[in-house]
Structure 1
Amino acid sequence: MRTTLLIAAIVVFGATVVAPTASSAPARLDWAPCPAGPLPTPDLECTTLKVPLNYQDPNGRKIDVTISRLPSKDPRKRRGVLLTNPGGPGPGGLDHPQLLKLFGLPQNVLDTYDVIGLDPRGTGHSSPVACDFTPEQIARGNLPYPNGPADVLTQAEHAKAQAKRCADAESAPMLPHITTANTARDMDRVREALGESTVSFLGTSYGTYLGAVYTTLFPRRSDRFVLDSNLGAGGYDINAMRGFARGMEDRFPDFATFVADRPQYGLGTTPVQVTAKFHELAARLDRTPVAGITGSLFRGLTFEGLYSVDLTALAEDWQALDEGKAPVPYPTPDNIDNLLSARFAVLCGDSAWPRSVTSYQVDVEAGRLRSPLLGAAAANISACAYWPTAPLEPQVRITGNGPSNVLMVQNQRDPGTPLANARTLRSALADRARMVTVDQGGHGVYLFGTNRCANTAVTDFLVTGQRPTTDMLCPAETR
């Protein structure tokens, strides 16, 4: 979670649907132990299948998509397959079924489905892309906090250089095809290769948009779809980026209250004092960084810390920085170049972005006034303003056309995918969806949250197909 801003963020009238090519029979899948990764995966088996790089040229170049399987061990209860996605875009999801099991995915869900993970195209073991960013570009991250128009101009030069690295990279021909719509089409190839007529889905954060796109493109191949912590109907577009600022404003009061109630941190005894400490620390670190943490990175560190239900680690980081000490370090992933490259490919390939630097300067100042904690950073210019290719197809327009088989779950105070944006996806899905809103902060509801009401609603839907008859609110509670 901690890489969201520090490293990685650190309408059309109809969607163009590329029809899948006919296949005479499911592909033969040879399952084997999964590749070694940061998480041991003793319960998983993996395989790879070939898919078209360009679905408009299905007989052209093929790329790999690697998938994992946590098989149901009860054939009497098995219903089908549950595809999963942990969020992003950029990270792989091969080990996600194992992670879900470790976090307590109920046994009746494990019995009902073969739980499927995959590294989306361009990531991990699925024909990864690489822009070959320099160490300096990686360390800088994306969307730093600008203190004025001149900082936007500086960031524009960095953004232009990032885009050029991608345009000049060996994997440049792949980048225009690393999109959400094409990943959804890959998912349908996975469904076909598994010999299933339909798939169920559990997606978190960016995974909610991926799931919404799949069930829009393939509504009759969609069984039970759970969308947890929802992006807006436009996916990771400019509104989602601006939404980071809204989300931080929604969530930060929880942290301010948490710290004010614990005077041992020495950061203030009222929420107003804690908020003042945020701005004071940001300004101080801009003048004198601590262990490389500038005011901009401090804002990003705070934003990412707000993702967690437990705010203790973030309070300890603040306390350390206030005392001039380094916070607990968070290691950079070994595949950070692939993570950033794939993230840019999806963000810049899914939707068009403004190209005028002046427009970003105006938006930055508006964001600073509207959302003082993070608004200027969320409105800053990125490599998408200089991306070498325009999106190859219109963005998929999410609609309510299809079976009523979607359950959305959403925290009221989610910093990464704020409730205001989630409501746009709920509106777009119309009667296809029901939404369970939870009186809780943090990013992630099912299993990763503490609300039994919401967790029960998701489990019941996955196992029995029963959803709430109307949208509902789960009151605050703790385990």
Structure 2
Amino acid sequence: MTTNRGRKTLLLSLSAAAVAGLALTGGGVAPAAAAGLTWGDCDPKVKPLPGQQCAELSVPLDYAEPDGEQIRLAVSRLPSTRPEARRGTLMVIPGGPGSSGVQRLGQKGAALSEEMNGAYDLVAFDPRGIGGSAKARCGLAEEDRWMVTLRSWPGADGRIDENLARSRRVAEACARNGGAMLRGLTTANQVRDLDRLRQALGERKLSAWAVSYGTYVAAAYAEKFPGRTDRWVLDSSNDPDPKRVARGWLEGMAQGADDRFPDFAAWASHPDRAKDGLRLAPRAEDVRPLVLGLAARLDRAPHPSNKPGVPLTGVMLLQALQQALYSDNSFAPFAQLVTAALDPKGEPVLPPELAGAMPDEAAAITVGVICNDVDWPRASVRGFERAVAADRARHPLTAGMPVNVTPCAYWKGGAVEKPARITDRGPSNVLMIQNLRDPSTPYAKGLRMRAALGQRARLVSVDHGGHGVYLGNGNACGDRAVTRFLTEGVRPAEDVLCK
């Protein structure tokens, strides 16, 4: 077994000379008609783009019994409008676990089509358990399906009694009601499903643009099927350590919030915010204590919101902050939430994700994949209490949530199969792109993926904050690097920095 080689990341200015380093050969042109898929109009609920088509793919519920029960996955594509320029299929692999590929194609397809200029059919699918694909259910009580309860936010005083009881209750409900469908929610099965889709499309190789959790799916695919990858883009990666996987990703959110918050503080203290009533403090260093002080007050005395019977609590404010840090476009709504909560007569408008319980199937996919993928520690109650107390002191913005107990600690049966180990064995055809200040997949964690891939990859680091880089934050340098790689096969000769 080859040991993963660590590699110090070389950050250079992205220039024509740096980008001109490496051209990759194509994967060949596939047949015009996709074997095994019947394309038709998409359901209007998908909100399809003009020309977007939909189909269903049949895959085994359990790959150990390939001829056994089959389930259906929702698939969508935007065909190339320039057949003479077409070089293959570009898979759009969403994040999560729990995000819809079909929806992401609808959201990003127009911009991506323009960048690709006919080089690819753009294809995405809803992973099992998501969107239009076969669903799993746990039969969870409504109070266990709110984002601020499914995520283990400790009590205002740091106590975790409710988290312990809820985690055990959720794990037991999923074991009782989830069945084979829930146990089939794994990254390994998503990798297998992706290869089934490749076959149905009639492609010898695939290219991919994967984001967030999708980068782990894509890396696992490239590890299992290296010869079936063409041009592989990993956007916003996390640490692929097979001993930790999602557990490590969750813990990383504490540092990610600390890395990203100064961007919001600078925005919220800028004099330009005053005209909109959104300047929270005269100095950037005053914004953090203001938000944390407000969260503490809201935990003592929740503020009535626009949702009857659902007051704004401190935990909800901190969860809203985590979501706001994903994109600069979310800064203003969060500042409005803070401003309204500071006003005794104000009416905070809750983000939709916090205003009601998740559907049961959404909750099932949220816990199913992370608990099925890797064994989580069965720590003692005292062990969890110590971890939460230390993390609350070190990272107040996340208040101990990233290290708290989850349903995975009580998951019946543990991991479904051994997690993938990402290595430096395979073709050198991966381009990584990563924001320096990412609240969800911190830059330091992305460097772990970079080290694991070794000479297979090049890294484009972007001096920006937020989660998701390509076609997401307006950085022309980063966008240009990814577009050129996908359309021309040219990667930077070295790891580079976009400012």
- Taking structure 2 as the reference length, the TM-score comes to 0.86
Is contact 1:149-1:361 (8 Å) kept? no
Which structure 2 residues correspond to residues 349-388 of structure 1 after superposition, within 5 A?
Answer: 349-356=372-379, 357-388=381-412
Is contact 1:67-1:119 (8 Å) kept? yes
Which structure 2 residues correspond to residues 50-89 of structure 1 after superposition, within 5 A?
Answer: 50-89=58-97
Does the C-alpha gap of structure 1 residues 32 and 266 become closer, same or farther in structure 2, counting only changes over 3 Å? closer
Could you tell me how far 1:266 is from its partner in structure 2? 5.1
Q: Residue 327 in 1 paired to residue 335 in 2?
A: no
Bigger shift: residues 347-356 or 333-342: 333-342
User: Hey, what's the Cα distance between the residues in 2 that align with 1:331 and 1:154?
Assistant: 24
Does the C-alpha gap of structure 1 residues 149 and 354 become closer, same or farther in structure 2, counting only changes over 3 Å? farther
Does the C-alpha gap of structure 1 residues 254 and 42 become closer, same or farther in structure 2, counting only changes over 3 Å? same
- SS of the equivalent of 2:439 reads coil
Is contact 2:137-2:182 (8 Å) kept? no
Q: Residue 274 in 1 paired to residue 287 in 2?
A: yes
Q: Residue 186 in 1 paired to residue 193 in 2?
A: yes
Does the C-alpha gap of structure 1 residues 134 and 334 become closer, same or farther in structure 2, counting only changes over 3 Å? closer
Match of 2:263 among 244, 251, 254: 254
Aligned match of 2:235: 228
Q: Residue 313 in 1 paired to residue 333 in 2?
A: yes
Q: Which runs of 5+ in 1 are unaligned?
A: 1-10, 15-25
Match of 2:317 among 298, 318, 321: 298
Could you tell me how far 1:229 is from its partner in structure 2? 1.1
Deviation track 1:309-357 (CA, whole Å, cap 9, x = no partner) reads 2322221221111114333333359973222211211100111111223
Match of 1:339 among 362, 365, 374: 362
- SS of the equivalent of 1:293 reads coil
2:378 aligned partner, one-letter code: R
User: Hey, what's the Cα distance between the residues in 2 that align with 1:84 and 1:61?
Assistant: 27
User: Hey, what's the Cα distance between the residues in 2 that align with 1:13 and 1:358?
Assistant: 36
Does the C-alpha gap of structure 1 residues 35 and 458 become closer, same or farther in structure 2, counting only changes over 3 Å? same
Aligned match of 2:14: none
User: Hey, what's the Cα distance between the residues in 1 that align with 2:257 and 2:358?
Assistant: 27
User: Hey, what's the Cα distance between the residues in 2 that align with 1:38 and 1:461?
Assistant: 30
Does the C-alpha gap of structure 1 residues 375 and 431 become closer, same or farther in structure 2, counting only changes over 3 Å? farther
Q: Which runs of 5+ in 2 are unaligned?
A: 5-33, 306-310
- SS of the equivalent of 1:431 reads helix
Is contact 2:208-2:231 (8 Å) kept? yes
Aligned match of 1:422: 446
User: Hey, what's the Cα distance between the residues in 2 that align with 1:119 and 1:321?
Assistant: 37
Does the C-alpha gap of structure 1 residues 42 and 337 become closer, same or farther in structure 2, counting only changes over 3 Å? farther
Match of 1:211 among 214, 218, 222: 218
Match of 2:207 among 192, 200, 208: 200
- SS of the equivalent of 2:458 reads strand
Is contact 1:244-1:416 (8 Å) kept? yes
Does the C-alpha gap of structure 1 residues 306 and 436 become closer, same or farther in structure 2, counting only changes over 3 Å? same
User: Hey, what's the Cα distance between the residues in 1 that align with 2:357 and 2:199?
Assistant: 33
User: Hey, what's the Cα distance between the residues in 1 that align with 2:130 and 2:428?
Assistant: 32
Deviation track 1:142-191 (CA, whole Å, cap 9, x = no partner) reads 2343258872122110111111221222x422212210111011000000
Could you tell me how far 1:450 is from its partner in structure 2? 1.4
Could you tell me how far 1:134 is from its partner in structure 2? 2.0
Q: Residue 287 in 1 paired to residue 300 in 2?
A: yes
Deviation track 1:284-328 (CA, whole Å, cap 9, x = no partner) reads 100111222211111110111011123222212211111143333
Aligned match of 1:5: none
User: Hey, what's the Cα distance between the residues in 1 that align with 2:84 and 2:421?
Assistant: 38
Match of 2:45 among 37, 58, 76: 37
- SS of the equivalent of 1:203 reads strand
- SS of the equivalent of 1:37 reads helix
Does the C-alpha gap of structure 1 residues 81 and 328 become closer, same or farther in structure 2, counting only changes over 3 Å? same
Using the aligned pairs only, state the percent identity: 39
User: Hey, what's the Cα distance between the residues in 1 that align with 2:193 and 2:420?
Assistant: 15
Aligned match of 1:3: none
Is contact 1:90-1:341 (8 Å) kept? no
- SS of the equivalent of 1:289 reads coil
Deviation track 1:106-148 (CA, whole Å, cap 9, x = no partner) reads 5251501110010001212221111122221123432343258
Does the C-alpha gap of structure 1 residues 161 and 13 become closer, same or farther in structure 2, counting only changes over 3 Å? farther
Deviation track 1:245-292 (CA, whole Å, cap 9, x = no partner) reads 110000001111111113543522112211110111011100111222
Could you tell me how far 1:360 is from its partner in structure 2? 1.8
Is contact 1:33-1:45 (8 Å) kept? yes
With CA pairs under 8 Å and 6+ residues apart, which has the higher RCO, 1 or 2? 2
Aligned match of 1:136: 143
- SS of the equivalent of 1:393 reads coil
Does the C-alpha gap of structure 1 residues 95 and 272 become closer, same or farther in structure 2, counting only changes over 3 Å? closer
- Taking structure 1 as the reference length, the TM-score comes to 0.90
Is contact 1:398-1:429 (8 Å) kept? yes
